[in-house]
Amino acid sequence: MGTHPRGDAIIQDNRIPQKTLGQWIAENPACLGVKVKDAFQGHLPFLFKVLSVNTALSIQAHPNKELAAKLHAQFPENYPDANHKPEMAIALTPFEGLCGFRPVEEIVSFLQSIPELRALIGEVAAEQLERSGSDDPRGVSAALRVCFTRLMKSEKKFFVDQLNTLVKRISQEVAEGKDTSGSNGDLLLRLHSQYPGDIGCFTIYFLNLVRLEPGEAMFLGANEPHAYLHGDCVECMACSDNTVRAGLTPKFIDVLTLCEMLNYTPAPSSSKIFPAVQSQLDPNIYLYDPPVPDFTIMKIEIPSSIKLYLVSAVESASILLVIQGTAVGTSTAAASEMTLRRGSVLFISANESISLHLSSPDGMLLFRACCLL
């Protein structure tokens, strides 16, 4: 849902001459709101998505603006625009993902208990990480970079052999009823069944496993390594399709770029959960406001006791998505009333409001993406 050239949203109202949202905004740029129009050169600055992740999505990171421009100039077929792509995922169901580097002691523990992993990293790099003290963050990051780069650049035949040995060993332990949590056995076997022989299977020993409950979020800034593993979420991001991938994918991978660009600062998984803040103006709204200007998301939970609700005007164009519940929407901007149900998507111009006449017995759940400069 947005205006990126690779997926410009289709307008369903056939009374409107423009067929896509991008075309309509180009003809009606004031709909963005003055600040957004000026700051983003007349373009809608965000993309809004719903993802249903059944098999893991690739180990990846997104470049900052400077690197994005460089990659786009050099390899436009793989990096289709010059924009950065910070993004946020908000869980709709229990959700699992990998995000950011684990605390070093966790990685060291895996290096000591999983000989196949240590063989890929090599003794010298492994010992360097073991010796790096917590009082020297730069030393830790440097050692982590060496270890992760050694892993990702392993020769294919060598890492496939090590992976097969590890999978065989853990499968045997599972069959014998042993606890394999010390080697992240369940997750390894699951990823290996989805992507057999893929180097990405080993990244679970470097990256935090983050579990989100519905309504919890994670924010992925530039150069943050991540992969979505399982669950449903709404996702909002800057309007870009720039992804540097390195594993768990059949798509183009660019290991060198990824290993160069990553943020090698370890942090516990709990620090990766991004808090929502209840709005002071409307207790039904929770704001997810990341440290980038491109987007903010609102979760709007309307209880069953409310039968008339005003989706209030903001100074930015926004996209409203219905997750559950039904209502009839009316607005001064729309020529006729709109029936809203699960899966309905509305584009709302800046400074426009919508009245919802709720008809579902159990209230509504909506998400709204906008740009609050």
What are the residue numbers of the active site?
A: 245
* Measured distance CA(255)–CA(260) in Å, rounded: 9
Identify the three-state secondary structure at position 243.
Answer: coil
| 226 has binding-site annotation | yes
| 60 has binding-site annotation | yes
Using CA of residue 236, residue 238, residue 240, residue 242, what is the dihedral sign? negative
Token digits of residue 177? 């009823």
Contact 100, 230 (CB under 8 A): no
* Measured distance CA(100)–CA(10) in Å, rounded: 35
Closest by Cα among 187, 180, 186, 179 to 203: 187
Q: Which stretches of the chain are DSSP H helices?
A: 21-27, 34-39, 65-74, 104-113, 115-121, 123-131, 137-152, 156-175, 185-194, 255-261
Q: Where are the beta strands (DSSP E) in 178-256?
A: 207-212, 217-220, 226-238, 244-247
CA atoms within 13 A on the CB side of 20: 13
* Measured distance CA(235)–CA(213) in Å, rounded: 15
| 235 has binding-site annotation | no
* Measured distance CA(177)–CA(193) in Å, rounded: 20
Report the amino acid identity of residue 189: L
* Measured distance CA(295)–CA(36) in Å, rounded: 10
Report the b/e string of 3-12 with b at 16+ CB within 10 A: bbeeebbebe
| 62 has binding-site annotation | yes
* Measured distance CA(337)–CA(329) in Å, rounded: 6
As annotated, the binding site for Zn(2+) includes 60, 62, 87, 226
As annotated, the binding site includes 60, 62, 87, 226
